[in-house]
Amino acid sequence: MRTTLHLTHDHPTPLPEWVEGGDVRMPPALVRRLVSEYTEHGDRLLDPFAGFGTTLTVSESLDRKAWGIEYDADRAAYACDRLRHPDRLHHGTATDIPDDVPTLDCVLTSPPFMHEFAARDPLQNYDGESDYETYLDDLAAVFGSLGSRFHRAGTLLVEAPRGTDVRALVEGFQERYPDAELVAQRQRDRTIRSLFELQDALETELTDRQWEALETAYSAGYFSWPRETSGQEVAELLGVSQPTFNKHLRIAERSAFRMLLDREYPAADE
C-alpha cells in the first residue's frame, strides 16, 4: 500500500495585501485531491472554517455544491468575491451552524490552530481568551453538531466472488448494523473489471518511480489544460531530471492506455 502522496504546495493567487501574518490557506492541490477522491459530482460539502475560501472555490470548480462559514469579515468578503454561489458562504461562527446548510455529503476543513499553552481563543479569531481544553471541547462540539447534518442512509455495494454464502454475509452485517436491509442481490458474469482491480493491475505493472511520476504529474495539474505545472517542475518535485521524468511518465501512460484501450491486463487471479 502506498503511504506517500506528492502534491504541490502552490497558491495560484497571492494573499490579499491586507493580510497580516502567515498564509493559513490550504493548498488547492490537496483540496482537489481530497474532494475528487471522496465526493461525486453534485455532492454537497461544507467548510465550517472557510478562511479565504479555498475548499469552496476548488469544490465549485469540480462541480460540487459548497457551503462555508467564516468568522473573519474580511476573509468572508474576499471568499464571497471568488465564489459562483457567494450566498452559500456565511459570515458567522461554526459554533452555530446556519439553518440553510443542507444535508451534507462531506465536511472538509482546516480549523484555526492553537498551541497547547496559548491563551487566546482561536474560535474568536484569537480575540477572546481560552485554554487548550476548552478549545478541544469547542472543536468537538462543532464537529459533533455536524454529525446530524449528514445523509442518514447510505447504500453499500458489496461484490463477492461466486460461491460466497450471501445469506451469512448479510446476516453478519445486520448483526452489527441492525437497521441495514438487503436492497438487491444480483449475479453476473464478470466481463468488466472493477476500477480497483484496474488500478491494482496498473500499480503492480509499474515500478514505484513510474507510478509516482504518474501520480505526481496528475496531482500537480500536469495534465490540465492549460498546464498548471510544467514537466520541469514535476521533475523537480520528484527530484529527478526532466528526461528521466519524461521516460517514467511515458511508460506509465503506455501501460495505462494499453489496459484501458486494448483491455490487456493480467487475469483476475494472477
In the complex, what is the shortest distance from the CB of residue 4 to ligand SAM, in angstroms, rounded to a whole number?
Answer: 22
Smaller CB separation from ligand SAM, 139 or 220? 139
In the complex, what is the shortest distance from the CB of residue 119 to ligand SAM, in angstroms, rounded to a whole number?
Answer: 16
In the complex, what is the shortest distance from the CB of residue 10 to ligand SAM, in angstroms, rounded to a whole number?
Answer: 13
Smaller CB separation from ligand SAM, 24 or 146? 24
Please state, in angstroms and as integers, the Cα–Cα distance from residue 147 to each residue in 35, 105, 135, 253, following that order: 19, 11, 19, 41
Please tell me the distance from the alpha carbon of residue 147 to that of residue 89, in angstroms, as a whole number.
Answer: 20
- Burial string for 157-184 (b: 16+ CB within 10 Å, else e) reads eeeeeeeeeeeeeeeeeeeeeeeeeeee
Please tell me the distance from the alpha carbon of residue 216 to that of residue 198, in angstroms, as a whole number.
Answer: 19
Please give the distance of CA 247 from its chain centroid, rounded to a whole number.
Answer: 29
In the complex, what is the shortest distance from the CB of residue 17 to ligand SAM, in angstroms, rounded to a whole number?
Answer: 16
Smaller CB separation from ligand SAM, 114 or 217? 114
Smaller CB separation from ligand SAM, 13 or 194? 13
In the complex, what is the shortest distance from the CB of residue 108 to ligand SAM, in angstroms, rounded to a whole number?
Answer: 9
- Burial string for 31-68 (b: 16+ CB within 10 Å, else e) reads bbbbbeeebeeebbbbbbbbbbbbbbbbbbebebbbbb
Smaller CB separation from ligand SAM, 34 or 180? 34
Smaller CB separation from ligand SAM, 47 or 212? 47
**For residue 245, which phi and psi values (nearest 5 degrees)?**
-60, -45
Select the residue whose beta carbon is closest to ligand SAM and give its number: 51
Q: Among 3, 10, 4, which Cα is nearest to 32's?
A: 10
Smaller CB separation from ligand SAM, 55 or 219? 55
Check: CB of residue 31 under 8 Å from CB of residue 54: yes
Q: Which residues bind ligand SAM (CB under 6 A)?
A: 24-26, 49, 51-52, 54-55, 69-72, 75, 93-95, 110-112, 122-123, 125
Grid coordinates in use for 229?
505545472
DSSP SS3 for 230: coil
In the complex, what is the shortest distance from the CB of residue 224 to ligand SAM, in angstroms, rounded to a whole number?
Answer: 20
In the complex, what is the shortest distance from the CB of residue 164 to ligand SAM, in angstroms, rounded to a whole number?
Answer: 44
DSSP SS3 for 128: coil
